[in-house]
Structures are given as structure tokens and as C-alpha cells.
Amino acid sequence: MCIIYHKMFLFGSLTTLLSVTSAALGKILYAGVNESGGEFGVFAPGQPGFGLPGRFGVDYAFINKSTIDIFVDQEKINFFRVTFLMERMCPLSFGLGSRFNETYFSEYADAINYITETKGAYALIDPHNYMRYNDPSQQPFSGSVIGNTSDPTAATTAQFGQFWHELARRFVNNPKVVFGINNEPHDMPTQLIVQNNQAAINGIRQAGARQLILAPGNGFTGGHSWNQTTGANDAPSSEFLNTLVDPLHNTAIDIHEYLDIDFSGGHDECTQPAPSNLAFLTTWLRQHNLKAVISEFGGGNNQNCFQFIDDMLSYLAANDEYIGWSIWAAGPIWGTASPCCGADTGSLEPGMLNDLGQPDAFTTVWSQAVRPNIPKNLKRAGVSSLS
Ligand SMILES: *[C@@H]1O[C@H](CO)[C@@H](O)[C@H](O)[C@H]1NC(C)=O
Ligand SMILES: *[C@@H]1O[C@H](CO)[C@@H](O)[C@H](O)[C@H]1NC(C)=O
Ligand SMILES: *[C@@H]1O[C@H](CO)[C@@H](O)[C@H](O)[C@H]1NC(C)=O
Ligand SMILES: *[C@@H]1O[C@H](CO)[C@@H](O)[C@H](O)[C@H]1NC(C)=O
Ligand SMILES: CC(=O)N[C@H]1CO[C@H](CO)[C@@H](O)[C@@H]1O
């Protein structure tokens, strides 16, 4: 309680004390939640193509507008990461590129426009594809790695650039979108991630879009492993992610950081402290004059995790290198399932129950550990940006 009070005072005072406090105080511009559901309904080992294209509102859905109302009107957050599946946006019969399934796009655009235009919040556009395309049946491991020139069935880096050019073109006049290049690349050369990221940035800027871009690294873009090899000896993200070129200087690093033993978000116990695990990343960001958004993190329904989440969000608020965060996850069709942090935690969708018939993580994790850390002075207007 004491800590919370202190933090509110600091944020409330930020504008008046700017010159005194800016060195010590970070500036979180975006705070919010993942809206997951657009990628659902395809997991079926051994059955590639299962659930494609899928049925809107049955196999997949993007948001519940009433939920968005609760988060914006009552919780005062300003940031939603909205997932979709590239195999639905670009059906396999079209291939990855600039030809979209207009039905799926319009369903997605309706969610994005509701968040941004009706509610005035920022929406992070998230192709939830692990930098792979053509077989989501065993995500995160199935599908050809984009740009793998040894795989004749793989989409090319150029196609990925065309895909982003088209997506950005369609949102070019919406200042409140943020472009997340891809969810959690892993087990691929880090140099190829950078090539694909660069193709996406080029496509977005060539479309005339000026909004904030988030670029992921390797190893599921984990912050704790930023300076480590991941997969089968793939180079650390820290060796390459600083080489991206954005002519508008409006690209930040996209980081995921879970707090359980293996950083997966699969366990209900929190044992990995974010402040020490992110220390290298923070220094690297500062050295390269870069910013980061933690677009996925989470913790289970227990006091220990509440403390770990509070420690993490306090750390992000205190370090200028971090400009936003969104917790995993709410979404309209999780039901009693748990997107993160043990089977009994439940989702962050307001008003739902967990698998035991008890209130879900919106009532527990969100109210105990997230709500007290929602800054009062989030960015409310203007083109999404680093400041
Ligand atoms: C949307 O959310 C509202 C408010 O929590 C709830 O009453 C309603 O049942 C939800 N609709 C769907 C389709 O889940
Ligand atoms: C496009 O999406 C709609 C809605 O899911 C689906 O009915 C249709 O078959 C899809 N078209 C293609 C070519 O996949
Ligand atoms: C690229 O494709 C080749 C041939 O299918 C495969 O052996 C290799 O593992 C792929 N590389 C990655 C990073 O997936
Ligand atoms: C990565 O950074 C951490 C924290 O600074 C440090 O303890 C660790 O030794 C570094 N690992 C490598 C491989 O450089
Ligand atoms: C840690 C975590 O919750 N990861 C999830 C990321 O999103 C995919 C797709 O919805 C889930 O399958 C993962 O479990």
C-alpha cells in the first residue's frame, strides 16, 4: 500500500517535477493487456490446415467490445495487443503477401477500429506466427521459417515485406496502431530475424505509415536471454538487433518476459525476478539508444507472483528504456482455460471463471498486481511513438 501510494505520487507529479525526476523516473506510455483469440482453433498435431479458415465467433474471435469498455473506462489502460493468424489473413491458396482474405481482415479491422477510434486507445497489431507461415497446426514449432531459402515451401523475406506493406497501407491513417512485426521468433538464425524485421520496417515505411513498430529478437524474444545463444546455437539477439534501420527512428524492441522457472508462463509459481533478469537488456538498450515494450508477461494467482509482477512493473516504470507493457492475456473465447501461469489462474477476461469455478485472473492477478501499477499519465493522443 505504501509502495502504491508512493508511485501514484510520483506519476501524478511527473509533469511538474519533470526536470528533477526525469533522470530517475521512467516513462511508461502504453499499459494494457493481450487480446488473444484470433489465432485460435488450429492446433491439431498431424493435421496441417486444421481449422483454416475457421468460423468467426466459433473457432476464433478477436475481442469482446464490452470487455474493451471495462478495460478502458474503468481500468484506464490505453493499450491492447490484438492477435491474428497469418494463415487466415493470407490463406495458403493466396500465399503470404499483399492479397488478404477480406472477410478476416474486416473482422480484425473492426476490432482494431473499435479499440482505437471508438475508445481512443492504442492497438498493437500482432501476427501471432513465430516468424513461420504455412502450417500453424503445432505452433510454435510447425510451419516453414519465413525466409528459409533451403525450404522451397517457405514464404520469402520479400513476401513478408509485401505483407507488411499492405497491412500498414490499410492502417496508414490510423495514428493509434502499433505494428508488431511478429510474435516470438525462435530456433532460426538471428541474422534471418533481422533480415525479416528489416523487410517489414521497409514495407511499412514505404507504405507511408509513420506509427511505432516493435521488432522481436530470437529465443521467443525473451528479455532474460538477450545476450545468450538460444536454440541450436543461434546468435544472441544482442549481437544483431541493434542493426535495424528505421528512417523515422520509430522502432522499439519487442520483449516477452515470463516470471516462472523456465520463462514459459506455463507454471503458477514465480521464481524468475525480472529486475535482475532484464539487467543486461536494459544496459544494452541504453548503450544503443533503444527503447523496449514488454508485450507479454504474466504471473499466477498467488502472493509470490503478485510481488514478482509488482517488482517487474516498478522496474519498468523506473527505467527510461521501457515505454510500455501488456500482460498475457484476456480474450473472448478463453472460457475457463488459463492462457498463462498454471491451469487454475484463468484468463484476464472480466467476469469469467477459472477451471475451478472461481473468479478468474481479472479478479485476482489484475486487481492485486496490475491495477496498482497502471500509470495515470499514459499517452492518450497522437501518433504512436517512442515518446
Ligand atoms: C462480453 O462481455 C460481457 C461483459 O463481461 C458479457 O456479459 C458477455 O457475455 C460477453 N459476450 C461474449 C460473447 O462473450
Ligand atoms: C475467408 O474468411 C472467411 C471467414 O472465415 C471464410 O469463410 C472464407 O472461406 C475465407 N476465404 C479463403 C479464401 O480462405
Ligand atoms: C530450412 O529448411 C531446411 C530444409 O527444409 C531445414 O532442414 C532447416 O531446418 C530449415 N531451417 C530452419 C531455421 O527452420
Ligand atoms: C548476460 O548478462 C547477465 C547480466 O548482466 C550476466 O550475468 C551474464 O553473464 C551475461 N551472459 C553472457 C553470455 O554474456
Ligand atoms: C506463455 C504463453 O501464454 N504463451 C502463449 C502465447 O500464445 C500462444 C497462442 O495463443 C499460446 O499457445 C501460448 O501458450
Which bound ligand lies closest to the C-alpha atom of 136? 5
* Residue 11: inside a domain: no
What are the residue ranges of helices labelled H in the chain? 2-12, 18-21, 65-69, 86-89, 102-113, 157-170, 190-206, 274-277, 279-287, 303-318
pLDDT of residue 26 exceeding 70, the answer is: no
**How many alpha carbons lie under 13 Å from residue 330 in its C-beta half-sphere?**
27
Instruction: Report the distance separating Cα 11 and Cα 17, nearest Å.
Output: 10
Per the structure, the complete domain to which residue 301 belongs is given by 25-373
Q: Is the pLDDT of residue 12 over 50?
A: no
Residue 24, pLDDT > 90, answer no
Q: Mind listing the pLDDT tens digit for each residue in 363-384?
A: 999 999 999 999 999 999 999 9
Q: Is residue 12 part of a domain?
A: no
**Residue having the nearest C-alpha atom to atom 13 of ligand 5:** 339
CATH number at residue 106: 3.20.20.80
- Average pLDDT in the chain: 92
33 has pLDDT over 90: no
Closest ligand 2 atom to Cα of 104 = 2
Residue 225 Cα to ligand 4 midpoint, Å, equals 8
For residue 127, list its beta bridge partners: 84
Quick check: is 5 in a domain?
no
Q: How many domains does the chain contain in total? A: 1
In a domain, 384, yes or no: no
For residue 17, tell me if it sits in a domain: no
Residue 121, in any domain of the structure: yes
d(CA 249, CA 385): 9
List, chain by chain if needed, residues with CB within 6 Å of any ligand 2 atom.
53-54, 56, 91, 93, 101, 103-104
Do residues 330 and 36 lie in contact, with contact meaning Cβ atoms separated by under 8 Å? Answer: yes
- Using one digit for the tens of pLDDT, what is the confidence trace for 80-134? 999 999 999 999 999 999 999 999 999 999 999 999 999 999 999 999 999 999 9
Atom of ligand 1 nearest to the CA of 66: 2
Domain membership of residue 162 (yes or no) is: yes
Q: Given a cut of 80, is residue 32 above it in pLDDT?
A: no
In a domain, 206, yes or no: yes
